[in-house]
């Protein structure tokens, strides 16, 4: 069993998620894909990339593309401040940086507390959301990371 999952009552699996905010919404990523969290640093712009890819950073000798999650989600951009972070994730063996407004922390969410976003019949489909996690502190929109980073 993955160290990020724990058996609860021999039935329910609990997964840890790193939670972060974009505007007023809380999102979550499985902690297993998170490599590290760093402060925003100098980003080298690269021409002819989609507008949400801000460029690349040199992180201890590794070149990592960086995406602004606000822009990716069609939310108005804002100036980076001391709470802005880059979450470095591993997607199929490739490191990618995701700029977020602020990191909230790690939460445990049981599989039974995650619902399919399409089950809410809102008429709105969001390809970037894989589930909606219910926690004591509110709902977390759980990201489909493969779609976020590769679906242009």
**Predicted local distance difference test score (pLDDT) of residue 109:** 95
> Is residue 5 situated within a structural domain?
no
Task: Classify 121 in phi/psi space as left (phi over 0), alpha (psi -120 to 50) or beta.
Answer: left
> Is residue 52 situated within a structural domain?
yes
Distance CA 22, CA 40 (A): 15
Site of tokens 């089950």 = 119
Tokens of 62: 């590794």
> Is residue 96 situated within a structural domain?
yes
Q: What are phi and psi of 140, to 5 degrees?
A: -125, 130
**How many domains is the chain partitioned into structurally?**
1
Tokens of 137: 């502190």
The rounded percent of the chain whose pLDDT value lies above 70 is 87
* pTM attached to this predicted model: 0.85
> Is residue 1 situated within a structural domain?
no
User: 1 or 104, which is more confident?
Assistant: 104
> Is residue 3 situated within a structural domain?
no
Distance CA 129, CA 143 (A): 5
- Which tens digit of pLDDT belongs to each residue from 11-39? 679 999 999 999 999 999 999 999 999 99
Q: Which residues are CB-neighbours of 13 under 8 A, at least 6 positions away? A: 5, 6, 7, 110, 111
> Is residue 8 situated within a structural domain?
no
| 3 state SS of 33 | helix
- Which tens digit of pLDDT belongs to each residue from 105-141? 999 999 999 998 875 555 445 788 999 999 998 999 9
Whole domain around residue 119: which residue ranges? Answer: 13-150
> Is residue 113 situated within a structural domain?
yes
Q: Which residues are CB-neighbours of 119 under 8 A, at least 6 positions away? A: none
**Predicted local distance difference test score (pLDDT) of residue 119:** 57
Distance CA 49, CA 86 (A): 19
- Which tens digit of pLDDT belongs to each residue from 57-105? 999 999 999 999 999 999 999 999 999 999 999 998 999 999 999 999 9
Kindly state the average pLDDT of the residues 134-149. 92
CATH number for the domain spanning 70: value is: 2.40.50.180
Distance CA 71, CA 139 (A): 22
């Amino acid at each position: 069993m993955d160290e990020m999952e724990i058996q609860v009552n021999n039935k329910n699996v609990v997964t840890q998620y790193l939670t972060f905010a974009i505007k007023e919404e809380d999102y979550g990523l499985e902690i297993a894909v998170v490599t590290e969290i760093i402060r925003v640093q100098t980003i080298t712009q690269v021409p002819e990339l989609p507008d949400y890819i801000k460029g690349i950073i040199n992180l201890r000798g590794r070149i990592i593309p960086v995406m602004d999650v606000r822009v990716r989600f069609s939310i108005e951009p804002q100036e980076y401040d001391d709470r802005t972070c880059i979450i470095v994730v591993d997607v199929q063996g490739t490191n990618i940086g995701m700029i977020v407004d602020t990191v909230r922390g790690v939460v445990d969410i049981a599989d039974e507390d995650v619902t399919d976003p399409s089950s809410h019949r809102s008429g709105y489909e969001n390809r970037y959301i894989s589930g909606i996690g219910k926690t004591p502190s509110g709902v977390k929109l759980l990201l489909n990371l493969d779609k976020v980073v590769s679906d242009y």
